[in-house]
Homo-oligomer: A and B are copies of this chain.
Amino acid sequence: MSDANVVYVGNKPVMNYVLACVTQLNQGAEEIIVKARGRAISRAVDVAEILKNRFMTSVEVKNIKISTEQINTAEGGQANVSAIEIALTNKAAPKNKK
């Protein structure tokens, strides 16, 4: 899979990420991937749900993966953190745009 259209969800308001998704889809992306780690996972699910239910009803969830990533802590140790990847496809992607 190309690593093109990824939206990383962090601690900003949900709508910021929804708009980032809408922008990418309106630029012709047929598929985007919403990624998040740790506490932001809930927000990533919110982003996907708000996007497809309220803004772009042609968007569907294609696949969801969960995983565990190792991150370096401030103290120099390592910690495990859960991560999610939500692949969304736009059934009505504009074919005439590049």
Contact = CB atoms under 8 A, between A and B. Distances in A.
Interface of A: 38-42, 45-46, 48-49, 53, 61, 64-68, 80, 82, 84, 86
Please state the number of chain copies in the assembly: 2
Contact of A49 (B42, B46, B48, B68): B68
B86 A49 contact: no
A22 B86 CA distance: 27
Nearest to A38: B42
B66 A86 contact: yes
B64 A64 contact: yes
Contacts of A86: 66
A86 to B, nearest CB: 7
